[in-house]
Structure 1
């Protein structure tokens, strides 16, 4: 894709699942990939896979909910890899519970990871993009934010907030060369989905229900997402901003 070679890309939640697949794709496109994850071993494992394939990557262990840690981490990335001009906010967390069975402590954890963490990343990285003359931000939300999902009320609210943030920033910075777009996965075969299902009364039944809800009758795979994310980060998408794209096997067909 046009314009990706040599760019410094930050991928949060890069230690596994969708994040790992995205890191590998950006490396294939010739980018320098900063793999950011609170799990240091997982981040390093992704970086090692990139290096083994001949790409460029470094692992950075940081908690996106800790603003000061993100300031320090992004400074290290800039010093070691250059100014980041692509940001993929992919990190996420969920638990499967009906809203009335949740507690404020549960909300706080979900909001911190799914929304506050993304706010931190935007706030720290965007000034660097502006100084560099522009950049691309791709926020990974969820189809739950577009249509709702029983048992995921707070998670869906956070991801809907991420969509609203993206659209607002797309307007605010439209003349500054920074584009913001959102990718909404449907149910995806990752460790996160399995952990969410494990909190239900019947995990296997829940996973089967997720699959049956998708017109293509399968769960998404991590490899289903890097293509659209790389496209939105490339020069081929220079006139695309403020958009929300579902990658969900037809689960959501919003106009």
Structure 2
């Protein structure tokens, strides 16, 4: 894959950074998109100066997305891989969700996939094709209290993945990577996994009896972007130690 370009939204922290790093190690020039946190972007670039280039954009803004994608295409050419990983949580009880809580989460998690894929897919097709990976969540099927906006957005991502797989075939394959509990600072904080009792309760629900790692997710991505999955499209790959079988 040496010489190919990959674009990863939300690619400077947590799982997204692990995905960016794996693509870089596979030989890709990685354009890691981020909305804010310039310090994290600089840290990621310093960690992987040989292949990671951060670019700031709000993926919920179609005009900004078109602008940054035009810049990427002009500077690097069409990507071979697009990873739609950008996502945020704003959990509230349903009756307390504001318009902004809804719009920001759905705009980033779902509309961002639409904007970014629409901006890059034509050039990918013209260049011979490629792979799109969306990053979903088990909450696309199994809801959680306080997460109506997030759960709805991830359900939309799963269905959008299938629609894109239908319409962008045969040149572009599109699949959804669905992480389970993953040992990142955001997940540890949200679920209180630093508390041994809470962690033990979570582990009790996972047949493999461990929390996943960002490297587990990168391994799955490597499969989805490689030739080993050349006949796989429109599918979901759940990487959760057997916690949620569907």
What is the TM-score with the length of structure 1 in the denominator? 0.87
Written as runs of structure 1 = structure 2, the 5 A alignment for 1:1-255 is 4-38=1-35, 39-51=37-49, 55-175=50-170, 177-194=171-188, 196-197=190-191, 204=195, 209-254=201-246
Q: Which runs of 4+ in 1 moved over 4 A?
A: 202-209
Q: Secondary structure at the match of 1:180?
A: strand
Gaps of 5+ in 1: none
Q: Can you list the C-alpha shifts for 1:37-91, whole angstroms capped at 9, x where unaligned?
A: 113332232222122xxx3221111111121211121122223322112100111
Could you tell me how far 1:179 is from its partner in structure 2? 0.4
Q: Specify the SS of the correspondent of 2:48.
A: helix
Aligned residues: 244
Q: Which has the higher contact order (CA 8 A, sep 6+)?
A: 1
Taking the aligned partners of 1:183 and 1:151, their CA distance within structure 2 comes to: 23
CA distance in structure 1 between the partners assigned to 2:70 and 2:92 by the alignment: 38
Q: Cα 1:233–1:92, aligned 2, differ >3 Å: closer, same or farther?
A: same
TM-score, normalization by structure 2: 0.90
> Aligned partners of 1:157, 1:207: CA distance in 2, in Å?
26
Q: How many Å separate the matches in 2 of 1:188 and 1:180? A: 23
Question: Cα RMSD (Å) of the superposition?
Answer: 2.1
